[in-house]
Amino acid sequence: MTLPTGARLRRASLARCVAALSLAGVIVPLSLTGCKGDEKDDLGEAGETDPGDTGTEETGGELGPWEFDDVLGASNSDDDDISGKRDWLEVPVDTDDDVVDWVMPADSFTGFAEGDQVELVLAGEQPEFVRFWHGNSPVLGHDVSEVRTTYVFTPGSEDEHFSVEFDGFNHGYTLTINHLDADGEIVATDEVVVRSAPLIMNHHLQPAEHLWVVDVGTNSAMINSYATALGDKFSPVAGNTVGYDVWIQDEIEFATQVTPTNRINIIIDSIRDRGLNSFPNQIVQPNIFKQTWGVPGTETSFDSFGNLEATPPITVDGIEYPFGRIYFGKTPQWGINDVLADFLHAQTVQAPVEIDTTWLCVGHVDEFASFVPDPSSAKGFKVLLGDIDAGYALLESMDPSTALPRYAADHGFATVGDIVDDANLRALNDDVRDDYLNPIWNQFKQEFALDDSDIISVPSIFEPVNGCGGAVVALIPGMANLIVANVEGEPTKLFIPDPFLRANNDDQASDPLVSSFAASMPDGIESIFVDDWNTYHVALGEVHCGTNVLRTPIANWWEVATHLLD
């Protein structure tokens, strides 16, 4: 939604403060800010108070300043008072920190004569998604029986406080504040922005706060890798509490709403509704709430959130996207459900890009693409993209007689030569490269303003699988399907599927793909190769599919993204 005509966000002067969020037994630091709008320029225009105006006898003397702060808030959809209801459905209470305290200072009413009043006029689409309280009464926006767009009152001698709350994301309005004389004529006027924050998805350059993996026993190698590397930043989820559903990335996606005084974590809960459907309830608490877009029972594999990602900050055709751009698998016939896709497009600040993933059996963008931090790069990142030619080049550089025990057991290829010499497999991969991967490379370059120097090729080979109508899955574990664990104050760690492209499964040092992949990563990154084979790879997923990450926001939309709202 765009701002109504004439609306603008004022630059805020910010004071830093710190709060803490307890999440799953872990204290998660949050950086919060308070803001106060800057004073307006003395324009002396009609309808605005000139600070040099000394008033008249009719107005009762010199007028006070008539300028007010913008109202920036978040969706009041959590449950701060732990009543079992969304806070929007209840009268605001002291514990409700998602309600904005909007103040008209007492000195604004200096010079008010007898009979003078204040008129508030709310303009914008869907005013039912905002509510102004004055005292204990709703006076503007949504009320139980009506939607109000005008409110007139007589101010007292003290500050006038309004509690403002929103229901939903990225709703924008203007509020006109008029000083009326006893005859209803406008003495002074001001206009401020009223807006609920957009939902903003996380990207891989944001610091990782906490990670989760479902522990089902068979994935102990992966659990141990995380626990050893991350300590208390990692929590295993007991498999018996979630129906032994290991695909935690597919169930939820974390996003945020940030305001000048608060941060809300939103759990985008998918409509897949399998065992992990109960997991969000384990971490929901004040300032963390879940919401679902779409109709349960209509889900396809495309509605799992390995198919929902965001780039780091980018600039495309001169337009800055300070929170990156969302991308997901979707075509006119197939893909992520329309309700969620339309909602994400409506947030505007991350301008989603739709990718054809119908050639993949599972159909997720994380099967062939990922972004990793690269502080030495001008853009701050590198993108990893699946590359079939690089896959065959690597295999052809190896001794064809090299035994591949894992591939022999689960893919029917006993040696490197068996893969290289399979003409049908080669023809299939040539088609996948020409028809899908090459166009995706070109689309990434165009939509995300990438050049070849921004891309790291990930050796990839795909194979068909029964029951997928000719769609393909990764033969060599999809190494772009990784996790970026960039915990603040620590070296960035990548958790990468072990490709097992070697004769001795226990000897990672002998694996040419392990060596070449680690060498291709940006300086300062620690590559941790995880055995995800039995629980994830043979079940058509990898490390990223089985992990979820909460991340810290690193920018304020009202400071850096207003050009994407107007």
312: which residues sit within 8 A by CB, 6+ positions away? 203, 204, 205, 324, 371, 373, 379, 380, 381
If asked whether residues 179 and 210 sit together in one domain, one would say no
State the Cα–Cα distance between residues 414 and 432, nearest whole angstrom: 24
CATH code at position 556: 3.75.10.10
Confidence of residue 406 (pLDDT cuts 50, 70, 90): very high
Report whether pLDDT(435) > 70.
yes
Q: Of 168, 196, 224, which residue constitutes the final position of a domain?
A: 196
If asked whether residues 178 and 204 sit together in one domain, one would say no
- Helix%, strand%, coil% for the chain, nearest 5: 25, 30, 45
* pLDDT digits 0-9 by tens, 369-383: 999 999 999 999 999
State the Cα–Cα distance between residues 333 and 444, nearest whole angstrom: 21
Copy the structure tokens of residue 33. 């800010």
* pLDDT digits 0-9 by tens, 83-118: 666 765 566 656 556 789 999 999 999 999 999 999
Asked if 306 contacts 365 with a C-beta cutoff of 8 angstroms, the reply is: yes
Nearest to 122 by CA among 138, 142, 143, 141: 141
Q: Of 162, 196, 230, which residue constitutes the final position of a domain?
A: 196
If asked whether residues 149 and 218 sit together in one domain, one would say no
Domain for residue 109, yes or no? yes
Domain for residue 6, yes or no? no
Residue numbers of the domain that contains 263: 200-564
> Quick one: pLDDT at residue 98?
78
- Long-range contacts, stretch 434-441, CB < 8 angstroms, 24+ apart: 435/359, 436/356, 436/359, 437/368, 437/385, 437/386, 437/387, 437/388, 439/356, 440/355, 440/356, 440/368, 440/369, 440/385, 441/385
Domain for residue 315, yes or no? yes
Mean pLDDT across 120-144: 93
* Candidate from 56-70, 135-149, 189-203 with smallest mean pLDDT: 56-70
Asked if 88 contacts 177 with a C-beta cutoff of 8 angstroms, the reply is: no
If asked whether residues 186 and 280 sit together in one domain, one would say no
If asked whether residues 285 and 379 sit together in one domain, one would say yes
Distances (CA, A) of 198 to 72, 195, 204, 305, 347: 11, 9, 19, 19, 5
Rounded to whole angstroms, the maximal C-alpha distance in the chain is 101
> Quick one: pLDDT at residue 93?
59
- Residue with the bigger pLDDT between 523 and 50: it is 523
> Quick one: pLDDT at residue 13?
29
Burial 79-88 (b: 16+ CB within 10 A, else e): bbeeeeeebb
Q: What percent of the chain is predicted at pLDDT more than 70?
A: 86
Mean pLDDT across 140-146: 87
> Quick one: pLDDT at residue 516?
98
Report whether pLDDT(35) > 80.
no
* pLDDT digits 0-9 by tens, 109-130: 999 999 999 999 999 999 999 9
If asked whether residues 175 and 217 sit together in one domain, one would say no
Report whether pLDDT(438) > 50.
yes
Confidence of residue 388 (pLDDT cuts 50, 70, 90): very high
If asked whether residues 271 and 158 sit together in one domain, one would say no
Domain for residue 205, yes or no? yes
Written as one string, the DSSP assignment of 318-336 is TEEETT--EEEEB-SSSBS
> Quick one: pLDDT at residue 45?
37
* pLDDT digits 0-9 by tens, 313-336: 999 999 999 999 999 999 999 999
Report whether pLDDT(14) > 50.
no
* pLDDT digits 0-9 by tens, 257-292: 999 988 999 999 999 999 999 999 999 888 888 999
Number of domains in the chain: 2
CA atoms in the 13 A half-sphere facing the CB of 215? 14
Domain for residue 26, yes or no? no
Mean pLDDT across 414-432: 98
Domain for residue 2, yes or no? no
* Candidate from 83-97, 206-220, 476-490, 499-513 with smallest mean pLDDT: 83-97
Copy the structure tokens of residue 382. 């590198």
Tell me the whole-structure pTM to 2 decimals.
0.87
Pairing of strands 462-464, 526-530: unpaired
State the Cα–Cα distance between residues 163 and 176, nearest whole angstrom: 17
Distances (CA, A) of 509 to 178, 318, 506: 73, 44, 9
User: Which residues are annotated as catalytic?
Assistant: 545
Q: Of 161, 178, 196, which residue constitutes the final position of a domain?
A: 196
Phi, psi of 553 (to 5 degrees): -60, 145
What average pLDDT does the structure give for the chain? Answer: 89
Asked if 264 contacts 288 with a C-beta cutoff of 8 angstroms, the reply is: yes
Domain for residue 19, yes or no? no
Report whether pLDDT(70) > 90.
yes
If asked whether residues 433 and 420 sit together in one domain, one would say yes
Nearest to 173 by CA among 237, 113, 222, 100: 100
User: To 5 degrees, how large is the angle CA 117–CA 122–CA 126?
Assistant: 155
State the Cα–Cα distance between residues 7 and 193, nearest whole angstrom: 6
If asked whether residues 115 and 214 sit together in one domain, one would say no
